[in-house]
Amino acid sequence: MAEQGLLVLFGSQTGTAQDTAERLGREAQRRHLRCRVQALDSCDLANLIHEPLVVFVCATTGQGDPPDNMKMFWRFLFRKSLPASSLCQLDYAVLGLGDSSYPKFNFIAKKLHKRLLQLGGNPLLPVALGDDQHDLGPDAVVDPWLVALWEKILALYPLPPGREIISPDMRLPPKYTLHYLPEDSPDPEGALLQPAAPRGAPCELQPFPARMVSNQRLTAQAHFQDVRLIEFDIAGSGITFSAGDVVMIQPQNCPEDVQQFCQLLRLEPHRRFVLEPTEPGTSLPPLLPQPCTIQYLVTHYLDISCVPRRSFFELLASFSTNELEREKLQEFSSAQGQEELFSYCNRPRRTTLEVLWDFPHSTCAIPADYLLDLIPRIRPRAFSIASSLLAHPERMQILVAVVRYKTRLSKPRRGLCSSWLASLNPEQGDVRVPLWVKKGGMKFPADPATPVIMIGPGTGVAPFRAAIQERVALGRRGNCLFFGCRHQSKDFYCQAEWEELVTKGFLTLFTAFSRDQEEKVYVQHRIRENGKLVWELLSSENAHIYLAG
């Protein structure tokens, strides 16, 4: 065990499971246990049989699906050819993170636990099922479960003689040290932003810098919601996609926020640095160039607009030199302070940058070495592709509703990616957006005779626009669309396009404009009114029905 240490494997979609896995890693360090924290798909699965102790932390996405970074592991684990005693050497524990408002609550964690048992694994504890719906969030389950887990682990692998658990008041070393380069070293910034020639299909670690061709507002200027139809040129990318697929876009922070962050932390934006791992064997962040500038790090990597997690407050408290601020930060990071943290941070959607403003003394004491421990990386955002390559070769279009809403905070909340995309103007120069494509969950029928009923209110119509363009290009009729929005004159996306297809006999269109009359009318009312046609298509013509929104 001393050699191997503990292995913590996570399957994470939004970062919560990864954050919890990293918390486990820190707690292992405090107990003098060697610990590796990895995404499930980056682990060498063949070596799993030699691991003595593994903790799995996994989320459930969609309708009981595994997160993207554990899909290969999932397929491997459920191979029928695996012998029943494959994992008889393995002590393990499974921690699930889910949301009980979904029918398949923590489905992946439950199924994983059961499968590991089937393969001979020895569970240290029953599977833990964290729930987002709990008043205290998943921590209500995670905290007591971790206490029980460490009791079990320390009973199996006691602390070395003379060693004690490192107190929570002692700050652990950073994951990386940041070494500033001399001021006169050559500037990498120009090279950083040049689109590299893609090697193989674009992916998260190697996105394609697509040129934005157009950025058109579809909603009336007077309408409260700003919705864009954005087109990219993907010529030379090697990207292919079909209806139902999803484009992943890597956004960046706005210049004002980057400037504020650098001022608050007294960082010089143009200083260059290289990162060095503190522990041998720790890999460098794959999406950060070496050397790098502070400006690039804050603009492209650190998610300063996310709502910070509990671990953020815990680490920030350890830097604080101000007693009042430190007490408040410690309260927010304690189990007892979670309700107050929720009302300070989560309910009003307060951002990391805003929290740093609220704790100025602690903020200016943050060592640059800890930036990557304190603030997670910016995650890519997914958008349904709203066009077909058959209709628009070498182009890709998306429908983007710009996220903007009010909470009790004076400043409106803005979606990072949608606001960034909306701010880009391809008429003012060469605008590049890093993107790659993922297979979507929607599959349209291969048989051209099969009718398709699509229900797509609002921007939910995006994948159906791709499907209709694809099917029309292949000469397929039998396309039935139920579209809903507020006002025919304000947010009826792609109206002229739909009406032309109706005229040509390629589309049957039913619309519901909820606010254009006294009584609100939604797509479900139109489905009920046309129940006879819907039933006829389903029962006699074996139609497929799709819903997005």
Q: Write out pLDDT tens, residues 361-373.
A: 999 999 999 999 9
pLDDT value, residue 452: 97
Residue 190, pLDDT > 70, answer no
Q: Write out pLDDT tens, residues 156-181.
A: 989 889 999 999 889 999 999 999 99
Per-domain residue ranges of the chain? 5-156, 208-251+380-438, 255-374, 452-547
Contact 22, 311 (CB under 8 A): yes
Q: What is the mean pLDDT of residues 13-33?
A: 93
Residue 49, pLDDT > 90, answer no
What mean pLDDT is reported for the chain? 93
pLDDT value, residue 448: 81
pLDDT value, residue 193: 44
Q: Write out pLDDT tens, residues 64-109.
A: 999 989 999 999 999 999 999 999 999 999 999 999 999 999 999 9
Radius of gyration of the chain (CA): 26
Query: Running DSSP on this structure, what letter comes out for residue 506?
Result: S
Taking the model in full, what pTM does it have? 0.90
Hey, which CATH number is domain 5-156, 3.40.50.1470, 3.40.50.360, 3.10.150.10, 1.10.3720.10?
3.40.50.360
Query: Roughly how many angstroms between the first and final C-alpha of the chain, as a whole number?
Result: 50
Its CATH architecture, for the domain 208-251+380-438, is Beta Barrel (2.40)
Question: Of the candidates 265, 294, 259, which has an alpha carbon nearest to the alpha carbon of residue 356?
Answer: 265
pLDDT value, residue 199: 66
Residue 198, pLDDT > 70, answer no
Percent residues over pLDDT 90 in the chain: 85
Q: Write out pLDDT tens, residues 404-421.
A: 999 999 999 999 999 999
pLDDT value, residue 43: 87
Q: Across the strands, what pairs with 98?
A: 131
Residue 5, pLDDT > 90, answer no
Residue 191, pLDDT > 50, answer no
pLDDT value, residue 512: 97
Q: Write out pLDDT tens, residues 327-346.
A: 999 999 998 898 899 999 99
Q: What is the mean pLDDT of residues 125-141?
A: 91
Its CATH architecture, for the domain 255-374, is Up-down Bundle (1.20)
For residue 62, what pLDDT band results from cuts at 50, 70 and 90?
Answer: confident
Q: Across the strands, what pairs with 129?
A: 96
| 336 three-state secondary structure | coil
pLDDT value, residue 195: 41
Report how far residue 419's alpha carbon sits from residue 416's, in angstroms, rounded to the nearest whole number: 6
pLDDT value, residue 418: 98
Q: Write out pLDDT tens, residues 257-276.
A: 999 999 999 999 999 999 99
Fold exhibited by the domain 452-547: Rossmann fold (3.40.50)
Q: Do domains 5-156 and 452-547 have the same CATH topology?
A: yes
- How many Cα atoms are found within 13 Å in the side-chain-facing hemisphere of 260? 15
Residue 299, pLDDT > 60, answer yes
pLDDT value, residue 183: 84
Report how far residue 526's alpha carbon sits from residue 343's, in angstroms, rounded to the nearest whole number: 40
